[in-house]
């Protein structure tokens, strides 16, 4: 069955045996053992089996099937249900979100993976290679996978910081454009999505650190403080990026206005430079009987000379005062 990635019993930090989902209850008779099950988008039947095997609450199992949850931790009498969002950057440089759910009880941890995310085989291997940590039990497994998920937030957030820098460069170095405005908006939208995944985790970690939850031993609790710390830093970075993005939007807007002002000035300058010879030409196109300049032999050339002189003067004047 493809939905069940793994189902292994551990004792004293060491792998004991691969168990069949049906036989889990026999494995759990030995109170020193705990079972770590990895599922991937499981069908209702599989979840039903898990539910019966571990006596889970109907509503939590329903949530685990639907997979459109906010990050949260729900504390039932003898088990907890944890939801996290996973993040991955796809090839088109967009962030894709998945979900991972955990059921943790006294002697089991069930990890349910939905949507795009890196598989957790790596975490399992790492855990199995440090038996002195893994023997802390199912609470440590919860920590290890959560830490793994949260560590994958960092590259996503750093990518967004880089995008912000690209936008800043565009705003301050290039001309204002529709594209920049749209990019700002898109980044804002993505940041909101990331924030929605990250910020509820502060509360989740707090609960895991503080509450008297049976299935998490006391020596495991400081580890969740570590996750908490990472989440705080990511959250801070996201909020910082949001704030800078807002400022960038305003700066962009100021520069659009300055740019508009520059266009007006440039137009005004050139309009003046063209208007003066037009006016002069109009004057000597008048039909007055007696206009002495018209009779001069070099009148025409004198006018051309004067016109050019005036235009050049205006040009230098406007350039000096920053209009051209």
Determine which residue in the list 73, 104, 248, 324 makes contact with a copy of itself, applying CB under 8 A: 248
Element (H, E) at 37: strand 33-40
Nearest CB to a copy of itself, comparing residues 24 and 56 = 56
Determine which residue in the list 192, 306, 309, 312 makes contact with a copy of itself, applying CB under 8 A: 192
Q: Does 281 bind a copy of itself (CB under 8 A)?
A: yes
The footprint of a copy of itself on residues 22-41 (CB under 8 A) is: none
Nearest CB to a copy of itself, comparing residues 27 and 164 = 164
Nearest CB to a copy of itself, comparing residues 4 and 272 = 272
Determine which residue in the list 5, 202, 256, 310 makes contact with a copy of itself, applying CB under 8 A: 256
Q: Does 254 bind a copy of itself (CB under 8 A)?
A: yes
Determine which residue in the list 20, 162, 257, 313 makes contact with a copy of itself, applying CB under 8 A: 257
Element (H, E) at 35: strand 33-40
- Number of residues in contact with a copy of itself under rule CB under 8 A: 85
Determine which residue in the list 296, 308, 313, 319 makes contact with a copy of itself, applying CB under 8 A: 296
39, 111 contact by CB (below 8 A): yes
> Would you tell me how many other CB atoms lie within 10 Å of the CB of residue 175?
11
Determine which residue in the list 6, 181, 206, 214 makes contact with a copy of itself, applying CB under 8 A: 181
The CB-of-43 to a copy of itself minimum distance in angstroms stands at: 22
Degrees, nearest 5: CA angle 149-150-156: 100
Determine which residue in the list 1, 121, 166, 258 makes contact with a copy of itself, applying CB under 8 A: 258
Query: How far is residue 241's CA from residue 110's CA, in Å, rounded to a whole number?
Result: 35
Pairing of strands 95-105, 108-114: antiparallel
Q: Of the listed pieces 46-54, 105-113, 155-163, 239-247, which binds a copy of itself according to CB under 8 A?
A: 239-247
CA distances 131 to 102, 105, 136, 183, 203, Å, are: 21, 20, 9, 48, 30
Residue with tokens 């551990």: 10
Q: Does 252 bind a copy of itself (CB under 8 A)?
A: yes
Nearest CB to a copy of itself, comparing residues 27 and 241 = 241
Longest CA–CA span in the chain (Å) reads 124
Determine which residue in the list 13, 115, 116, 277 makes contact with a copy of itself, applying CB under 8 A: 277
In the chain, % helix, strand, coil (3-state, to 5) comes to 60, 15, 20
Q: Does 297 bind a copy of itself (CB under 8 A)?
A: yes
In the chain, count of helices (H) and strands (E)?
A: 11, 7
| Phi, psi dihedral angles at 243 (to 5 degrees) | -65, -45
The footprint of a copy of itself on residues 158-177 (CB under 8 A) is: 168, 172, 175-177
């Amino acid at each position: 069955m493809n939905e069940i990635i793994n189902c292994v019993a551990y004792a004293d930090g060491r792998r004991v045996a691969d168990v069949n989902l049906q036989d889990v209850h026999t494995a759990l008779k030995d109170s020193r053992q705990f079972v770590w099950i990895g599922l991937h988008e499981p069908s209702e039947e599989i979840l039903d089996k898990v539910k019966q095997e571990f006596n889970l609450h109907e509503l939590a199992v329903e949530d685990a099937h639907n997979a459109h949850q906010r990050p949260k931790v729900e504390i039932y009498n003898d088990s907890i249900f944890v939801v996290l969002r996973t993040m991955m950057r796809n090839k088109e440089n967009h962030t894709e979100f998945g979900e991972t759910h955990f059921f943790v009880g006294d002697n089991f941890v069930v990890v349910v993976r939905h949507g795009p995310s890196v598989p957790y085989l790596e975490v399992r291997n790492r855990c199995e290679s440090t038996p002195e940590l893994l023997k802390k039990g199912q609470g440590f497994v919860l920590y290890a996978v959560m830490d793994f998920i949260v560590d994958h937030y960092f590259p996503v957030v750093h990518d967004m910081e880089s995008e912000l820098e690209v936008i800043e460069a565009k705003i301050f170095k290039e001309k204002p454009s529709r594209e920049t405005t749209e990019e700002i908006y898109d980044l804002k939208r993505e940041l909101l999505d990331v924030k929605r995944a990250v910020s509820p985790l502060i509360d989740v970690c707090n609960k895991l650190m503080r509450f008297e939850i049976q299935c998490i031993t006391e020596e495991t609790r400081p580890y969740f403080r570590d996750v908490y710390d990472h989440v705080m830093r990511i959250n801070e970075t996201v909020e910082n990026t949001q704030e800078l993005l807002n400022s960038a939007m305003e700066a962009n807007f100021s520069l659009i206005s300055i740019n508009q002002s520059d266009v007006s000035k440039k137009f005004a300058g050139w309009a003046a430079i063209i208007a003066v010879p037009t006016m002069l030409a109009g004057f000597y196109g008048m039909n007055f009987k007696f206009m002495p300049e018209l009779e001069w032999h070099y009148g025409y050339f004198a006018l051309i000379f004067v016109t050019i002189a005036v235009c050049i003067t205006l040009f230098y004047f406007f350039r000096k005062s920053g209009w051209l």
